[in-house]
Structure 1
Amino acid sequence: MKNIVLLSTAEWDNPFWTNKQHTACSLADLDCRILYIESLGLRRPSIHPRDWHRLIKRFTKAFSLPKKINSNLWVWSPLVIPAPTTWHTKLLNRIVFSVSLYLVMMILGFNDSILWTYNPLTKNYVSIKHFSSTIYHCVDNISAQPGMNARLINAEEKKLCNDVDHVFVTSSTLYRSLKRWTKNITYMPNVVDFKHFSKARSRRPAPNEYIDIPEPRLLFVGAISSYKVDLGMIREIALMMPSWSIVLIGLVGEGDPATNIKEIDDLSNIYLLGPKPYQDLPIYMSHSQVGLLPCLLNKYTESMFPMKFFEYLAAGLPVVSTQLAALNSFKDCFLTGKNSFEFVVHIKSILDGRSTINPDHASSIASKYTYEMRSVAMLRIIDRVLDKSMRR
């Protein structure tokens, strides 16, 4: 049984789970013992009330022992200063975190552990030499997110890639970027909880909110943040086709509290439903006609493989997306639009039954990219890494 210390960049109870939570659960299901460490705070808190609420919540959790989720999984919220800027606060963080982690690992019996990190600043907090093996799982270009210290993150990420035993990345762009710093790197795209989202293909009663939302319903699920979502395009589509309902499920401003939704908030055919429980998402997808990925094209999204892509496909939803480099290998599974006009043309073809995309074929492709399959493949690579280290 492997002991894995998983250093995340996401809160466990975030309403929209990311790679980190899903991967932790998948590894736990494969009989690994997981210590999931919540975000250490890569971005300096803003004056936005949401950031202050998050700080207070984290502070109250910091004095608790790790929470046991199941027999193989614990969640821990350490006490750290988020995004420290001075040498003494950085040193304080390193001392407090390292000592606390050592004690937690002793209490839980995490001996001979593997470090699996998503945090490019990991070496600022703990010595990675104390672990039997070290993995960096890079799923985003974090330095391109709002409020990040890009220079620091890029410099530390280079050092981390040089020093860990293996790097996993979720997009071809990230692969090209990080392979400059290491030869031990593997590209594995984002995956899907196929069993969960394929439930959308079994017709169930529509959610209550949909009673007053007429078809056709064009659905977007995810963080509604101005650095990722093209809000202007959504507005243009809504104005061009007032008989279409555009449904947005997600938290406004996640990762970017400065997000302003005024340009879409005043249109009667745009419905902002807020975040919904993970277990309910297939129901909303089941009663929608198109899955939307109206992503901005920028330095962040050029490295992004949207998790919702395979989730839409698993649900049987035809997908229309902007031209994301990470999706180039799956061109036969979705339609690409460069602007609002092309989005409207493609959506019309889907609604009229003229689309060249076969949802059954697309769903079958998605079924080959599951968390279990990816976790098994990753563990095989880690086994080879451990085997090499034992031979030294």
Structure 2
Amino acid sequence: MRLIYFSPVPWASFAQRPHKFVEWFRATRGKEVLWIDPYPTRLPRLADLRTRGRAKNGEVVAPDWLTIVSPRVLPIEPLLGISLFNRLLWNKVIQRVNSFIKDGECQIVIGKPSELALRVIALNPTVFSLYDAMDDFPAFYCGLSHLSMRRREQAVAAKVSQISVSSATLVDKFASYRLKLILALNACAVDSLPPVSLKGRIDKPVIGYVGTISEWFDWSLVFCLAASNPSVCIRLIGPVHSMPPGRLPQNLEMLPACDHGTAMKLMGEFSIGLIPFKLTNLTAAVDPIKYYEYRALGLPVISTSFGQMALRHGDEGVFIVEKNSNLVALTNAAMAFEDKLSEIEEFRAKNSWLKRFTESGLLTAVTQRL
């Protein structure tokens, strides 16, 4: 069995669910993967000029079992009629896909809805297809681009053989397709984590966050957390696309983006893992991978009540910030929490990508599941 994967992120980006999906497929099926990098599915914005040319995640080399295809398109997909010009640019990609399918039994996974993905499954109606929804993609867009993505996603959901989603909110969204719908939450790359160990006491506690700081990041909460806990260091690590609302508190420090290995080492210095996301339509469908990474390192987690985290209220090591939460008491409770070695090991065993994808029943024929 071979795999064609329409990815929502480039192969050269930091490893996320799509990367782990194809690695799991290779480990369990042992066959080749044709990875199709994403292309613009919304109309361009002025901000795109500022991000053009931004460095990628170093020199990323694809393994010999994976072939990367980067479609050439114009950023006009939301424009009905005019977007048909892109079909002329897709000819070589579609020929490559069709040749890949003819060379042996194949399955198609769509990680992000696009006209190209719809075209491929329309040309290959007998090939098993899966839509793996790791986000509520229309929520990332606005205006015409939002309407276009919503329409495109509905078309993908209707035509694929199976749908997998990464959060309970997305289960509700695709409830009308319940006979072909499965839930496969996110997980973490346990093989890249340091050995299980209990954290020792440190002189100055650190509440840390690793990840992108963008429109969904709750700067107000972070500032309040810093003000409420002046003896605690608040450390934010990652690229910044949403600037802080004012001068940083003295106990708040920011570090630049880094590779995954360095990020894991820096997380090892945390006392608490932080996930300060706003409650929006965009975050309502999110199951944050950083939650799994924090807990797999034995860190307690302070998080807002968004997405899948809202369902973890009361879970071991999870401390949810509500509207009227006492941030001092919440922080002290998180600081006092301690995992046992056996509990960390058990968490890792239950939340590896291999375990998650295998037990969820992904890429299993629908007729075998009914």
TM-score (norm 2): 0.85
Distance verdict in 2 for CA 1:202–1:338, change over 3 Å: closer
Q: Distance in 2 between matches of 1:339 and 1:360?
A: 34
Task: Say if 2:17 is the partner of 1:19.
Answer: yes
Query: How far did residue 83 of structure 1 move?
Result: 4.6
For structure 2, the 5+ residue unaligned runs are none
Deviations 1:272-298 (A, max 9, x none): 212110122221111110000111111
Name the SS for the 1:143 alignment partner: helix
Query: Letter of the aligned partner of 1:218 in structure 2?
Result: I
The within-5 A match list for 1:83-98 is 83-98=76-91
Tell me, yes or no, if the aligned pair for 1:3 and 1:110 is still in contact at 8 Å. no
Query: Letter of the aligned partner of 1:79 in structure 2?
Result: R
Name the SS for the 1:53 alignment partner: coil
Tell me, yes or no, if the aligned pair for 1:318 and 1:359 is still in contact at 8 Å. no
Query: How far did residue 238 of structure 1 move?
Result: 1.3
RMSD (Å) for aligned C-alpha atoms: 3.1
TM-score (norm 1): 0.81
Tell me, yes or no, if the aligned pair for 1:118 and 1:138 is still in contact at 8 Å. yes
The within-5 A match list for 1:36-115 is 36-48=35-47, 49-53=49-53, 69-103=62-96, 106=99, 111-115=104-108
Tell me, yes or no, if the aligned pair for 1:45 and 1:52 is still in contact at 8 Å. no
Query: How far did residue 214 of structure 1 move?
Result: 7.5
Task: Say if 2:115 is the partner of 1:135.
Answer: no
Query: Letter of the aligned partner of 2:53 in structure 1?
Result: H
Query: How far did residue 156 of structure 1 move?
Result: 2.0
Query: How far did residue 109 of structure 1 move?
Result: 7.4
Match of 2:114 among 121, 136, 140: 121
Query: Letter of the aligned partner of 2:137 in structure 1?
Result: I
Tell me, yes or no, if the aligned pair for 2:208 and 2:270 is still in contact at 8 Å. yes
Q: Distance in 1 between matches of 2:340 and 2:82?
A: 55
Q: Distance in 1 between matches of 2:128 and 2:97?
A: 19
Distance verdict in 2 for CA 1:94–1:385, change over 3 Å: farther
Name the SS for the 1:220 alignment partner: strand
Q: Which residue of 2 aligns with 1:34?
A: 33
Task: Say if 2:203 is the partner of 1:218.
Answer: no
Q: Which residue of 1 aligns with 2:315?
A: 332
Paired residues, number: 358
% of aligned pairs identical?
20
Tell me, yes or no, if the aligned pair for 1:315 and 1:363 is still in contact at 8 Å. no
Task: Say if 2:255 is the partner of 1:266.
Answer: no
Name the SS for the 1:201 alignment partner: coil
Tell me, yes or no, if the aligned pair for 1:234 and 1:340 is still in contact at 8 Å. no
Deviations 1:284-324 (A, max 9, x none): 11111000011111111111101111111111111111113
Distance verdict in 2 for CA 1:272–1:200, change over 3 Å: farther
Name the SS for the 2:131 alignment partner: strand
Query: How far did residue 329 of structure 1 move?
Result: 5.0
The within-5 A match list for 1:235-384 is 235-253=223-241, 259-263=242-246, 266-327=248-309, 328-329=311-312, 331-333=314-316, 334-339=318-323, 341-351=325-335, 353=336, 355=337, 361=343, 364-377=346-359, 380-384=361-365
Tell me, yes or no, if the aligned pair for 2:297 and 2:344 is still in contact at 8 Å. no
Q: Distance in 1 between matches of 2:345 and 2:76?
A: 41
Tell me, yes or no, if the aligned pair for 2:196 and 2:341 is still in contact at 8 Å. no
Deviations 1:158-202 (A, max 9, x none): 221111000000111100111224520001111111232354738
Distance verdict in 2 for CA 1:158–1:269, change over 3 Å: same
Tell me, yes or no, if the aligned pair for 1:143 and 1:153 is still in contact at 8 Å. yes
Distance verdict in 2 for CA 1:182–1:160, change over 3 Å: farther
For structure 1, the 5+ residue unaligned runs are 58-66, 205-212, 254-258
Query: Letter of the aligned partner of 2:184 in structure 1?
Result: M
Name the SS for the 1:69 alignment partner: coil
